[in-house]
């Protein structure tokens, strides 16, 4: 039985998982360094394509070559994403139906970018099992339309993966918790990630899942938590250190490096505050060092309005599903941001029951994808998964009006059939225009496909009987067939929803990805070594500037020499030399690092004491 892996292709992070047959449980697969999350970031540098953490480090340095949040662009046209452009720093241009992204002097499509992420996960799995992997289950948000699902499938093909099933993320999360074993129940899946919020209400009945309603906010997530905390810290730095800042003429808000540091510090503090009541923050700014303590109460006050913003969509989803909070039997938490205690409290208050949260909320979708993969491979449980169509599907009829064949929220797989006719005498060709959306006029809906039905015998208007069939399979993909019934020799045509990528495009992209692959591994390792060197150089320089009083002349000289050698090595292409020199700098600074750590600890204790004194006075 060929192995099938489960992949969560996320907006911020992606993961791969499999079912361990020995214990019958899903597990995520870490990379060589033990990291489970792969940031969904791809950087097209002159030296090669970088993905994951390596690409994420290029976000500031090579902003024009680095693509993130590409999931927002999958299977979408320029018109679809117009409102999205202001959030994305890279250049997006209208393509043939779909958008294209300009990055590092190339033009790529969203499926090609996602394919780089998928390939990295495929490679990771192949290394783990030491065997080729060709099949995968990939998850998508429940509200993804046909084009977005098809684009996801194409991304798999470009990466050399046959996407055997596309599963909705909330369904996957429920599967990971084994909720398919409920005889009957209603499940609410609350998913708060880095940049998106989704709420889905599912019905489970004898192992069958049905999406009753979905809602959410496509621009709300942990990144917003980071942002409010960062702005608050910025104000605080400016208030406490305005004299130093004025003295050296620094405008922090305009200083990209300083803002980047502040953002990273904010996210790190946020994450610590999910498990700790208070945490210290130390930020060196060259001329001065900013220190402060942040409490759980501080961050909760800041993010409360954002957490409240998730509750409206929850209430709307309940309303769409025709349920009150008491109608929900199980609540499942998904996404890294649901680790925030305030989020858990508010969700529990709204649904009036403790949510399922013992599985890692960042991993739970991938784990569920693996369970589905296990089912398909025949290894575990027997089950059918049902979902619903997120939007109505129909065809354009006379006067540009939409004739709906499959209404929104219909359970899939499903099919529908309807008869149409011609509007002009002697008409031999009918133009079929398949659309998706809730609006009356075709021009206001999303155009999915156009094709012609030819070869109709000339007849008076209204005489031909044209039968149109819509079929949606278990993956949510649509097939449209049109057939003229009156004449014996019926003509029929089948369309796959298109969104701009032709079969030939996909083939070419598959070939391209193979050409890049080999060069990419070598350059990746060199770039990783350089990145590591850069990090060390920055830290050591800062340490030397800040902690001059903690070193003597001899130690300083040793560090400066090692640093100069590393800088020289970093300029060249000799990877081993870069690694060797980085190690030497690390060794030369060991003592200083320890001394600084001690000093920082003392600083934290002192500042805590100062705060306590202030509070008690
Ligand atoms: P996505 O589904 O968008 O790919 P994830 O589910 O991986 O995103 O969530 C990423 C977000 O989770 C980031 O904003 C990250 O800061 C946040 N996050 C991760 N761990 C924690 C934690 N322990 N506490 C608070 N937020 C966290
Ligand atoms: Mg996610």
* Residue 453, domain CATH: 2.60.34.10
Q: Is 12 in the pocket of ligand 1 (CB under 6 A)?
A: yes
Q: Please tell me which residue in 54, 80, 146, 169 is annotated as part of the active site.
A: 169
With respect to residue 616, please indicate whether it lies within any of the assigned structural domains: no
Q: Is 169 in the pocket of ligand 1 (CB under 6 A)?
A: no
pLDDT at 566 over 90: yes
**Mean of the per-residue pLDDT values of the chain:** 86
SS3 content of the chain, % helix, strand, coil (to 5): 45, 25, 30
Residue 615's pLDDT band, with cuts at 50, 70 and 90, is: very low
Residue 507's pLDDT band, with cuts at 50, 70 and 90, is: confident
pLDDT at 357 over 80: yes
Residue 614's pLDDT band, with cuts at 50, 70 and 90, is: very low
With respect to residue 480, please indicate whether it lies within any of the assigned structural domains: yes
Task: Tell me the percentage of the chain whose pLDDT exceeds 70.
Answer: 90
Q: Please tell me which residue in 54, 71, 226, 270 is annotated as part of the active site.
A: 71
| CATH at residue 544 | 1.20.1270.10
**Cα 563 to Cα 529: distance, rounded to the nearest angstrom:** 15
Tokens of 219: 């621009």
Do residues 482 and 430 lie in contact, with contact meaning Cβ atoms separated by under 8 Å?
Answer: yes
Which is it for strands 99-103 and 106-108: parallel, antiparallel or unpaired?
A: antiparallel
Burial letters 448-480, b for 16+ CB under 10 A, else e? bbebebeebeebeeeebbbebbbbbeebbbbeb
pLDDT at 617 over 60: no
96 catalytic per annotation: no
- Find the domain containing 568 and state its range: 503-604
Distance from Cα 95 to the centre of ligand 1, integer Å: 32
| CATH at residue 318 | 3.30.420.40
Average pLDDT over residues 434-440: 78
191 catalytic per annotation: yes
Final residue of a structural domain among 251, 284, 303: 303
pTM of the model: 0.73
Distance from Cα 193 to the centre of ligand 2, integer Å: 5
Query: From the centroid of its chain, how far is CA 448?
Result: 24
Count of domains for the chain: 4
pLDDT at 240 over 60: yes
Q: Which residue has 């620094």 as its token pair?
A: 250
Q: Please tell me which residue in 191, 217, 226, 475 is annotated as part of the active site.
A: 191
Closest CA to 12 of 69, 66, 88: 69
Distance from Cα 335 to the centre of ligand 1, integer Å: 6
Tens-place pLDDT, residues 257-301: 788 889 889 999 999 999 999 999 988 887 788 999 999 999 999
pLDDT at 237 over 60: yes
Tokens of 56: 């994420």
Final residue of a structural domain among 387, 422, 438: 387
């Amino acid at each position: 039985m060929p192995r099938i892996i489960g992949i969560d292709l996320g907006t911020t992070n992606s993961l791969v998982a499999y079912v361990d047959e020995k214990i019958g449980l899903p597990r995520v697969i870490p990379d060589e360094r033990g990291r489970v999350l792969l940031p969904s970031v791809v950087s097209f540098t002159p030296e090669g394509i970088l993905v994951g953490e390596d690409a994420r480090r290029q976000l500031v340095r090579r902003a024009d070559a680095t693509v993130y949040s590409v999931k927002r662009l999958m299977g979408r046209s320029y018109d679809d994403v117009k409102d999205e452009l202001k959030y994305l720093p890279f250049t997006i241009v209208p393509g043939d139906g779909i958008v294209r992204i300009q990055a590092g002097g190339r033009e790529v499509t969203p499926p090609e970018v996602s394919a780089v992420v998928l390939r990295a996960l495929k490679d990771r799995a192949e290394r783990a099992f030491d065997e080729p992997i060709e099949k995968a289950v990939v998850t998508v948000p429940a509200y993804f339309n046909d084009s977005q699902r098809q684009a996801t499938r194409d991304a798999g093909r470009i990466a050399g993966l046959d996407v055997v099933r596309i599963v909705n993320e909330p369904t996957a999360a429920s599967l990971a918790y084994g909720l398919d074993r409920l005889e009957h129940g209603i499940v609410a899946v609350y998913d708060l990630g880095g940049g998106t919020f989704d709420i889905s209400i599912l019905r489970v009945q004898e192992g069958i899942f049905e999406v009753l309603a979905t809602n959410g906010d496509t621009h709300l997530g942990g990144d917003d938590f980071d942002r409010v905390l960062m702005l608050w810290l910025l104000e605080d730095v400016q208030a406490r250190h305005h004299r130093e800042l004025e003295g050296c003429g620094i405008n922090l808000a305009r200083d990209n490096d300083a803002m980047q540091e502040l953002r990273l510090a904010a996210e790190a503090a946020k994450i610590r505050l999910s498990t700790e009541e208070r945490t210290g923050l130390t930020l060196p700014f060259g001329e001065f060092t900013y220190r402060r303590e942040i409490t759980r109460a501080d961050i909760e006050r800041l993010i409360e309005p954002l957490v409240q913003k998730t509750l409206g969509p929850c209430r709307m989803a309940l309303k769409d599903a025709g349920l009150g909070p008491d109608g929900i039997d199980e609540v499942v938490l998904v996404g890294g941001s649901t680790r925030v205690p305030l989020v858990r409290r508010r969700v529990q208050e709204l649904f009036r029951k403790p949510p399922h949260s013992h599985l890692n909320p960042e991993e739970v979708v991938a784990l569920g994808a693996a369970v589905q993969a296990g089912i398909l491979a025949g290894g575990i449980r027997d089950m059918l998964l049902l979902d619903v169509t997120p939007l109505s599907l129909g065809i354009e009829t006379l006067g540009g009006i939409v004739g709906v064949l499959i209404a929104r929220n219909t359970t899939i797989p499903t099919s529908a059939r309807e008869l149409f006719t011609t509007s002009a005498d002697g008409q031999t060709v009918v133009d079929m225009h398949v659309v998706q959306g809730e609006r009356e006029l075709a021009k206001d809906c999303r155009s999915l496909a156009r094709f012609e039905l030819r070869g109709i015998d000339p007849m008076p208007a209204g005489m031909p009987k044209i039968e149109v069939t819509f079929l949606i399979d278990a993956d949510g993909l649509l097939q449209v067939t049109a057939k003229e019934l009156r004449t014996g020799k019926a003509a029929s045509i089948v369309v796959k929803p298109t969104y701009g990528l032709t079969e030939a495009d996909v083939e070419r992209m598959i070939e391209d990805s193979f050409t890049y692959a080999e060069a990419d591994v070598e350059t990746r390792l060199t770039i990783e070594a350089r990145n590591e060197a850069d990090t060390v150089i920055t830290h050591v320089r800062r340490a030397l500037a800040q902690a001059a009083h903690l070193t003597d002349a001899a130690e300083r000289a040793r560090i400066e020499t090692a640093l100069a050698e590393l800088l020289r090595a970093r300029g060249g292409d000799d990877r081993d030399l870069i690694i060797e020199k980085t190690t030497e700098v690390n060794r030369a600074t060991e003592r200083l690092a320890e001394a600084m750590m001690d000093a920082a600890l003392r600083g934290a204790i002192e500042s805590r004491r100062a705060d306590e004194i202030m509070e008690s006075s």
